[in-house]
Amino acid sequence: MFYGKQRPMCGFCELGRRRFGKALLALGAVAAVQSAGVLRAPAAIKRPLIMIDPGHGGHDPGAIAPDGVFEKNITLASALTLREHLLATGRYRVRMTRSSDVFVTLEGRVADAVAANADLFLALHCDHLPSPKMRGASIFTLSGDASDGLAAGLANDENSADSLGGSAGVSPQVAKILASLETRATRISSATFAEDIKTAFKGTVPLLPDPTRSANFAVLRDPSTPSNLLEMGCLTNPLDERLLTSPTHRSLMAARLTQAIGVYFRDYAGQRDANTGGSTG
C-alpha cells in the first residue's frame, strides 16, 4: 500500500483558515438575519453535544492484532473513557453510537448523529498497517478523493464493515457524490478539529508522519456535522498495541482529546455560534 506524504500546514496558513471559516459562517448569519428583517436576541446557549462512535462491534471485530486483540474492544473502552472525561468537565453532553459489544451499520451511526443534532462527531478506530514498524495516531476528514494511498486503502477497509452485516453499501460513484454534499463550513470545522487533535497529541500520543489525512469514509458523510475519524494507533505495531490496551494510556489520550475539543469550541465553534446567534445543542 502506498504511503503518501502531505505537506505540513504552516502556522500562518492554519490561522488564515480559521479566520476564513469564521468569516464564512458570519456572512451566512448576517444574510439570514437581514432576510428575516428582524434582530433577535441570542438564544440560551446549550452545552454542545459530542457524538462518540466506537468503531466495529458485535460480529465485526475490526482489526486483529498478531496476538489476537480485537479492535472493537479497544475502541469501546477508549470511547467510554473519553465519555467520562468529557462529562467530568460539565461543559458537554455526550452520546455514543454504541455502548456495548453490538454491531451498528455505518449508515446507522451517521443517522444517530443526524437525529441527535450532534455538534461534533468523532469515530474511534485502530490502524492495521502493512509494516509493523509503522506506528502512531492519525486523524481523518472526509473527501471525495483520498489524500494518499494509505488513506484510500484504510477507507476501503473501514467502509467494508457493513458487508459483514449483509448491507451492500453504496457504489464508489454515489459515495463521491455524498462526500461532495458536505458543506464548506462543515469541511472547515472538521479540518480545524483535526488540527486541534494533532496539536493536543504532540509530544504525548505518538503520531504517524503527516497525521492529518482525508478519504471517503462512509461514517463521516453527514454534511451538517463536523466529523472526524481518529486512528488511535496501529495494532500491527507492538509498542502501539501495548499503549492501546493500557487503561493509563487510554485515559491520557482521552484527556488530550478533551483538551482538543475544548480548544475547538473555544476558538472556532464558539465563535460560529456567537455569529449565528443560535444555540449549540
**Domain boundaries defined on the chain:** 45-276
Q: Counting runs of H as helices and runs of E as strands, what totals does the chain give? A: 9, 6
Mean pLDDT of the chain: 80
| 121-132 residue pLDDT tens | 999 999 988 889
Contact status, residue 92 vs residue 49, Cβ threshold 8 Å: yes
Closest CA to 192 of 269, 87, 95: 269
AA letter at 212: T
CATH superfamily of 45-276: Zn-dependent exopeptidases (3.40.630.40)
Residue 277 has what pLDDT? 41
Residue 184 has what pLDDT? 79
Residue 217's pLDDT band (cuts 50, 70, 90)? confident
C-alpha cell at 183: 458543506
Q: What pairs with residue 64 in β-bridges?
A: 70
229 has a pLDDT exceeding 50: yes
| 24-44 residue pLDDT tens | 444 444 344 344 443 444 445
Query: What Å distances lie between residue 219 and 30, 99, 204, CA to CA?
Result: 32, 17, 27
Mean pLDDT, to the nearest integer, of 158-177?
54
Query: H or E segment at 94?
Result: strand 93-96
**In angstroms, rounded to a whole number, what is the distance separating the alpha carbons of residues 119 and 189?**
10
Q: Give the range among 106-120, 211-225, 244-258, 267-281 with minimum mean pLDDT.
A: 267-281
C-alpha cell at 209: 508522519
AA letter at 150: L
Residue 29 has what pLDDT? 42
- Higher per-residue confidence, 51 vs 281: 51
Residue 243 has what pLDDT? 97
6 has a pLDDT exceeding 50: no
101 has a pLDDT exceeding 60: yes
Residue 216 has what pLDDT? 83
The pTM (predicted TM-score) of the whole model is 0.76
